[in-house]
Structures are given as C-alpha cells and as structure tokens.
Amino acid sequence: MVLFVGDDWAEDHHDVEVLDDTGRRLAKARLPEGMTGMSRLHELLAEHLGEDAIDAETGTLAEGEVIVGIETDRGPWVAALIAAGYQAFAINPLSAARYQERHSTSGAKSDPGDAHVLAEIVRLDRAHHRPIAGDSDAVDALKLVARSHQSLIWERTRHLQRLRQALREHFPAALVALAAGGLELADPDALELLERAGDPDRAARLSRAKIAAILKRARRREVEVKTEAIQATLRAPALRQPAAIEAAYATIAASQIRLIVGLNAQIPALQEVVAQGFGQHPDAEIYLSQPGLGTVLGARVLAEFGDDPHRYQDHKARRNYAGTSPITRASGRRTVVLARYARNRRLGDAVHQWAFCALGASPGARAYYDQLRARGANHHAALRQLGNRLVGILHGCLKTHTRYDETNAWAHRQAAAA
C-alpha cells in the first residue's frame, strides 16, 4: 500500500497527515523539527507500511512506497526524507493555495488543513508536479555558493544606488568630481576618495597630494590632470544643506561605503570558490564550450539546471524550466503569445545574460538575433528567443555528451536562410 504524506512545515515543527491510495486518513500529527521529529515520522509511517514495502535484495524501502508533498526543496529535513527513500515533491506555495480553494471556499486556513491539501495533491495530481531533483551533492553545493555570489553582487548594486542617492541629496558635487576624474562610483579609488571627502567641508580641505596618491594606488593614467579636475570640482561653490542634515547624510554615506568595500572584498573570494566547484564537475567542459558561457555564468547555469540526467524529459521541459519558452493564452477567437514570467528568476537572468554574451561569440547566434530584430522583435524579446534556442542546444550537448559545434548548432537555419 502506497502512503501519501502532506508535510506543512514551519521553523520549529511539521504538521503531517498520512493518506492511503483511497484518500482515507491513516494518521496525523505535529512533529518537532530535527532528529526527534524525523524519528517519529519514520515510526508513524512504519505502522502502516506492509512487509512488501521493503526491497528484499537491498533491505531498504522500495521506490514509490512513500510519497511526500512539502512546500520546499531544501534543508536538512528534506534531505532526510530523500535519504530515507521517500519520494518527495516540492509543491509551489502558490499551487498549494489554489488547491486549498478546492477544499474550502470560505477562506479558512490551518496548518493541519494545509498538510491535508499537500497529501491530496501528491495522491491525485502528482503527475502534474515535478519531484525533487536527484542532483549530486557537488551541484547542490555549487548552487549555494553561486547563488550567494550573485546575491552579493545584487546587494552591492543596491548599496551603490543608495550611496548615489545619498550623495545626490547632500553632496552632488562628489558625483560630478568622480565623473570629471573618469571614476565610477563602484571603483575602489572612488570609494576611498569618498571616504576622505564625505561632506563638502572635508572635500574642500582635501589636498592635491592625497587625491593624487589615491589615483596612483589605482594605477590611473593622467594623474595630474584628473587630480586638478577633481579638486576644482570639490572646491567649487555649491548649494548646501543645513549642517545637521549634512552630518546625517555624511554618516549614511560613510556606512554605505564601508558596506560596499566589504562586499568588494568578499565577491572575488566567493567567485574563486564558485570557479573551483564548477571546474571539478564532469559537465563543466560541455558548459564552457557553449558560446557566451564563462566560468561564473556557466556555473550559475549548471547549478540552476542541476545534473540529474532524468529531470528533463526533453528540450522542451528544460526550456520551460528556464522560462525561455513562451506561453499561449487562447480563448475563443483570441490567441495571445506571451513571455513566461513564472520561472526560476536566477536561471532566467543567467540565460538572458548568456544570450547577450553569445552575440559576440557565435556567428550563428548573431545571425539568428538579427533575423528576429528584422522581424520586429525588440532587443529583450530577441534575446529571450535566442536564449530559448541556446538552452535547446545545451540540452542536446548534455544528452549526447558532446561539446558545442557551431556548424551543427546553426546549419539548419543557415540552409533555410539560403
């Protein structure tokens, strides 16, 4: 008898419900998080499993005897479920909320009720959901560091925008001075200069020697010309905020600068870990052979796709997961084709960047992009379609364990164009 388990998780406990294949409730319980709760779950399920549930050859639980629905695909609890031989389905919380409406239209909600819905989903509709991928530990680890690396870059961008806004509010001359010296706000020497000239009074007292020393440490060219331009801009008369307001903004800017400097130090360090993990994976050579993919971008794409060989039935499934394939909405005589926005955001971002980088690395990709633009597609729509094509090419390379070949990838389109 197959057991269907709904697991509604929280930080410190799990509400579980066990159903048989007819939908009859066999058990329900609230289990604590951790080893104690997992042990009690095993005991609860063992009470209802038959003798034929154990594989006679391996002595372990037979495949498909316990099917679990849970609204997450990571964490030690999920890892323990998979290690125990249970088949786990990660149910999107949005999907679970829609299923909830089938059982109650009043809007009532409870944790035990959510566990019941999850159990019903895997009992009745599991064919429409994707089981948790059987990726290797190496790829799971790579996903963690690649996502952290990307998150740090996003955080640095946010802090740079906040710093820029703070400077615009109280000291816009600092931004003008950086531009006069050919410096970007994220540059280390620009941040060092802003640390020393955080408000108009300190900036006006900054000597030419100190400015020149900062530029020389960054190996800037034309140091004297840039020093003169920066100092002249910082000392030029400008509108001022009240002293108290200036001091507050200077404190805010200084804190943002320190955060950015820290992120600038950590991002390269984490990038080395990403590169090391990616380089050790057996599929790294295939990913690096794709036009437009380097070490960091290739690591992101590999980590988000995973390396489970049975996860994607065909290239269409991989494209759907990447979010590059469009969706069609048809009603009556009206049919609309739209971009797919419900997707893995990190993978979608990586594929979009991959498509852009491929324009300069693959003549076939460039020609395909130009054809799309000639048909009236805008830049981002053309990149989405190019990314869709590149994902299909990657799927074929991984399936056949071959490197990318420019002729094989685009020959059919070149022949059609001819």
Q: How confident is the model at residue 388 (pLDDT cuts 50, 70, 90)?
A: very high
Query: Residue 120: its pLDDT value, please?
Result: 92
**CA dist., res. 126 & res. 224, Å (int):** 69
Query: Residue 396: its pLDDT value, please?
Result: 94
Options 3.10.20, 3.30.420, 3.30.56, 2.40.50; CATH for 3-132 is 3.30.420
**CA dist., res. 31 & res. 52, Å (int):** 27
Q: Rounded mean pLDDT of the chain?
A: 90
**CA dist., res. 71 & res. 86, Å (int):** 15
Query: Residue 212: its pLDDT value, please?
Result: 94
What are the boundaries of each domain within the chain?
3-132, 141-275, 284-417
Examine the pLDDT at 380 and tell me if it is beyond 60: yes
- Residue/partner pairs of 244-249 with CB below 8 Å, 24 or more apart: 245/170, 246/170, 246/171, 246/199, 246/200, 247/199, 249/166, 249/169, 249/170, 249/171, 249/199
**CA dist., res. 304 & res. 114, Å (int):** 28
Averaged pLDDT, 18-30: 92
Alpha-helix runs per DSSP H in 13-110: 35-46, 76-83, 93-103
Query: Residue 20 is which amino acid?
Result: D
Examine the pLDDT at 13 and tell me if it is beyond 60: yes
Q: Rounded to the nearest 5°, which phi and psi values hold at 341? A: -100, -15
The pTM for the full model equals 0.83
Query: Residue 330: its pLDDT value, please?
Result: 86
Q: How confident is the model at residue 59 (pLDDT cuts 50, 70, 90)?
A: low
Phi-psi domain of 345 (left: phi exceeds 0; alpha: psi -120 through 50; beta: other) = alpha
414's CB contacts (< 8 A; 6+ apart) are 364, 367
User: CA nearest 225: which of 194, 266, 190, 182?
Assistant: 182
Neighbour-count burial of 101, counting CB atoms closer than 10 A to its CB (0-12 exposed, 13-18 middle, 19+ buried): exposed
Query: Residue 69: its pLDDT value, please?
Result: 94
Query: Residue 228 is which amino acid?
Result: E
Averaged pLDDT, 205-213: 93
Query: Residue 414: its pLDDT value, please?
Result: 59
Averaged pLDDT, 179-187: 93
Tokens of 218: 């960054």
Bridge partner residues of 189 (DSSP): none
**CA dist., res. 220 & res. 213, Å (int):** 10
- Coil/strand/helix, residue 135: coil
**CA dist., res. 251 & res. 272, Å (int):** 33
**CA dist., res. 382 & res. 367, Å (int):** 11
Tokens of 142: 């790579």
| Strands across the sheet containing 25-32 | 25-32, 13-19, 3-9, 66-70, 87-90
DSSP letter at 401? Answer: T
Examine the pLDDT at 47 and tell me if it is beyond 60: yes
Examine the pLDDT at 416 and tell me if it is beyond 60: no
**CA dist., res. 282 & res. 279, Å (int):** 8
Using CA atoms, how far residue 283 sits from 118, 286, 290, in Å, is 35, 5, 12
Find the radius of gyration of the CA atoms of the chain: 28
DSSP 154-205: HHHHHHHHHHHHHHHHH-HHHHHHHHHTT--TTSHHHHHHHHH--SHHHHHH
Examine the pLDDT at 187 and tell me if it is beyond 90: yes
For the stretch 313-335, pLDDT in tens is 899 999 998 988 888 888 888 88
For the stretch 250-259, pLDDT in tens is 999 999 999 9
Q: How confident is the model at residue 417 (pLDDT cuts 50, 70, 90)?
A: low
CB atoms within 10 A of CB 149: 23
397's CB contacts (< 8 A; 6+ apart) are 286, 289, 290, 403, 404
Averaged pLDDT, 164-176: 94
Query: Residue 384: its pLDDT value, please?
Result: 93
Tokens of 358: 């491929």
Length of the chain: 418
Q: Decide: 263 and 150 in contact? Cβ < 8 Å.
A: no
Q: What share of the chain in percent tops pLDDT 90?
A: 72
